[in-house]
Amino acid sequence: MEGSLALGIGLAILASTNINVGKGVQKWKVHIWGKKGQMFNKENLPDTLIWFVGLALTASAVVILPLALKYTERTSMVSSFNGVGMIGLVIFAWLVLHEKIGWRELGGAGLVLAGTALMKYFDAPVEQKSFSLTSFLMSFGAIFGGFGLLALYSWKTNRFYGFSVGSLPGILIGSAMILADMGLVDTGNSIIGLVTNPLAIFGFICGVMATVFTQFAFWRAKAMVVVPTINSFIILAPVVIEYFTFGQSLKPVQYAAIAVIIAGVILLTATEKSDRIEGVKKE
């Protein structure tokens, strides 16, 4: 059992790293969409291909996350490791964009690692797993609907845009993880069964929608706002929805650990430097 959990955690970290680095690559080259019909011209093709590499990295999580869920017992456990992927984004910025790593980044990484270690240490096995589809739909609808209205307000006024629009892909990805977990329960923990499972298909649709909303967020807001918002909601949404859907709650120390992880995510991205994944340097 311990070996299976370790495998699940490893897959969760891989998925998180791919999501975060993939988002970084997409933001780095998101300007290519302003070229419209000239995206595939010779001079623009390299940037276009790099953007699609970022998309492929992000999309790979669609396959990896269900595998991570298969070997763990809580969606919130898998989602909590999303903060570790932020460390991968910092390394990407250091290697590709030549951003320096300072005490703020090291402190953020330390908080993320400490929080995820606490989540793992205090994890308790789930004896029997069942879910309520009605409770999922109600909790998902309330959260996504509420932040969707805020996003519409921000779209018209441009106030809180990065936060409100950035929250939507985070909620969708977190909900997609819950749906994949529900699909695994529905199919007897069969990964192959997820291919035709309606719940897993709904989760896939949520993932596609998350990619679309992410591009909208990146187009008009700085990544230093969008990225920590997306990651925070990827962590938070499953915790809330899992409680209503599966009737599962965490230990108080694990809720504290989640707060520590989110604080680390903010430190890793909310920097006074030029935006870590904008590719723009201050003179």
Query: Is the predicted pLDDT of residue 48 greater than 80, yes or no?
Result: yes
Question: With 80 as the cut, is the pLDDT of residue 135 above it?
Answer: yes
Q: Which of 129-138, 213-222, 249-258 has the highest mean pLDDT?
A: 129-138
Mean pLDDT of 49-57: 90
Rg, the chain, Cα only: 18
CB-hemisphere CA count at 13 Å for 179?
23
Residues 6+ apart with CB under 8 A from 34: none
* Residue ranges making up the domain that contains 171: 2-269
Q: Which of 110-114, 123-127, 129-133, 134-138 has the highest mean pLDDT?
A: 134-138
- Is the residue at 15 inside a domain? yes
The amino acid occupying position 243 is Y
Tell whether 224 is covered by a domain. Answer: yes
- H helix intervals, the chain: 2-28, 45-59, 61-70, 75-80, 82-96, 103-121, 133-157, 161-186, 198-220, 223-246, 252-269
Question: What share of the chain in percent tops pLDDT 90?
Answer: 23
CA distance 101 to 29: 22
pLDDT at 2: 52
Task: Give the total residue count for the chain.
Answer: 283
> Is residue 176 a contact partner of residue 204, using CB atoms and an 8 Å limit?
yes
Does residue 276 lie within any of the structural domains?
no
Q: From the CB of residue 63, how many other CB atoms can be counted at a distance below 10 Å?
A: 13
Q: How many domains, in total, are found in the chain?
A: 1
pLDDT at 117 over 60: yes
Tell me the pTM: 0.78
Element (H, E) at 125: none
Q: Which residue has the higher pLDDT, 214 or 198?
A: 198
Mean pLDDT score, 55-69: 86
The pLDDT tens digits for 156-207 are: 887 888 888 889 999 999 999 999 999 999 998 888 899 999 999 999 999 8
- pLDDT score at 59: 85
The pLDDT assigned to 270 comes to 58
In a domain, 92, yes or no: yes
> Does the pLDDT value for residue 266 go beyond 90?
no
pLDDT at 99 over 50: yes
Whether the per-residue pLDDT at 279 is higher than 60: the answer is no
Residue 143 lies in a domain: yes
Residue 259 in domain: yes
> Is 275 a domain residue?
no
Flag the least confident range among 33-47, 234-248, 259-273.
259-273
Residue 282 counted as domain residue: no
pLDDT digits (tens, 9 = 90+) for 29-38: 877 877 777 8
Angle between helices 223-246 and 2-28 (to 10 degrees): 150
